[in-house]
Structure 1
């Protein structure tokens, strides 16, 4: 097994005449938290969906644990996915949603209680999803991503709808996950929050503008991830 949990290699995705992502390459080292950043329409969601097999690339490829998603045996053990816009069946309970998820993943029933506890939803397990706040729904999505005990998490805007306490909880959760050997690729617009948790960043605007360690982008105390981000993306045509 190599040192990278995810590899994106020369990825291009076209929709007719529109190019969503062009010749994009980057890696996500094992045990790291990598932030995928870019303005709306930059290709972040396209990139994530291609990595986890929801979209087929026009050119190039992406690998998880050295293989395309479609070739993974027991993919839920390799990667857990929580994408912005993934919905839930509103009439079922949180527990029932996770029961369906764990059956699809082929994992023991005990994982349902474990992930409910892990994301702080144990007391709400029997509530119907339609009664959940946005922040609670985000936690449920994360619980579903964790159901297969994956080595890697791919998360699209997981902090949306979280209050300050929830954001702090998410930050601590992600750091603990990485410290236990897990890997995270996370897309978010909350740059100040990301700066507190990521090890590396990938800034894209259809193409990669920067891919590397945070400390190599934010090089002194007068800089911030936000200021360097805007230095990179402003003036670059989409």
Structure 2
């Protein structure tokens, strides 16, 4: 099996005269947590949506477990996704939402209870989603991403709306997922928080400005991910 859970190869996406990403290439090693960073409009959402088959690239391609998302057998067992646009029917309960997700993923009937426990929502499973806080909705999105027992997670700003305890819980959860052999690609603007959890970072501004290990970018106690990030993006062409 390939050592990379995700590969992005020469990805370019144009919308008329506007180029969202251009010749973007990076890889996500198995068993790692990789942060995808960039300013607003840098192409992060375009990249994530291209990886999971929601956008067709102008050129280049993306692979999950060595194949395009659209060619995967039972994609939910390969990758779980939580990002903007993957909303909920607000009038149903969290349990019902996960039952629908379970059926779509072909998962076992007991999987709903498992993921509710994993994300700490079991006591609130019968509440309607419209009564959930933003942080609870984030946990529900993560539960839905986990429903197919995927080897890889793709998450877009999963810490938004979480209180400090929730952020600490998410950090520990993601680290445990990776230590058990899972892989995580996470897009976020919370640089200080990401620095505590990621193994590698990919900084983009339409193109890749840096793709590699965090320790090779932040090389001393005087450095931080935030300072190195701004060095990269402020020095890149507009």
**TM-score, normalising length: structure 2:** 0.99
CA-based RMSD of the aligned residues comes to 0.6
2:39 is the alignment partner of 1:48: no
Contact 1:21 1:47 in 2 (8 A): yes
Residue 157 of structure 2 is matched in structure 1 by 157
Residue 7 of structure 2 is matched in structure 1 by 7
Helix, strand or coil: the match of 1:172? helix
Helix, strand or coil: the match of 1:232? helix
Helix, strand or coil: the match of 1:127? coil
Residue 140 of structure 2 is matched in structure 1 by 140
Deviation of 1:236 after TM superposition, in Å, equals 1.9
Contact 1:35 1:200 in 2 (8 A): yes
Q: How does 1:51-130 map to 2 (within 5 A)?
A: 51-130=51-130
Distance in structure 1 (CA, Å) of the matches to 2:141 and 2:224: 30
Deviation of 1:86 after TM superposition, in Å, equals 2.1
Q: How does 1:177-188 map to 2 (within 5 A)?
A: 177-188=177-188
Deviation of 1:237 after TM superposition, in Å, equals 2.7
Residue 31 of structure 1 is matched in structure 2 by 31
Residue 210 of structure 1 is matched in structure 2 by 210
Helix, strand or coil: the match of 2:144? helix
Listed one character per residue, the Cα deviations across residues 206-238 of structure 1 (whole Å, up to 9, x for unaligned) are 000000000000001100000000000013233
Residue 176 of structure 2 is matched in structure 1 by 176
What are the ranges of 5 or more consecutive residues in structure 1 without an aligned counterpart? none
Listed one character per residue, the Cα deviations across residues 102-149 of structure 1 (whole Å, up to 9, x for unaligned) are 000011110000000000000000000000000000000000000000
What are the ranges of 5 or more consecutive residues in structure 2 without an aligned counterpart? none
Distance in structure 1 (CA, Å) of the matches to 2:82 and 2:16: 27
Residue 19 of structure 1 is matched in structure 2 by 19
Distance in structure 2 (CA, Å) of the matches to 1:10 and 1:141: 30
Contact 1:84 1:158 in 2 (8 A): no
2:191 is the alignment partner of 1:191: yes
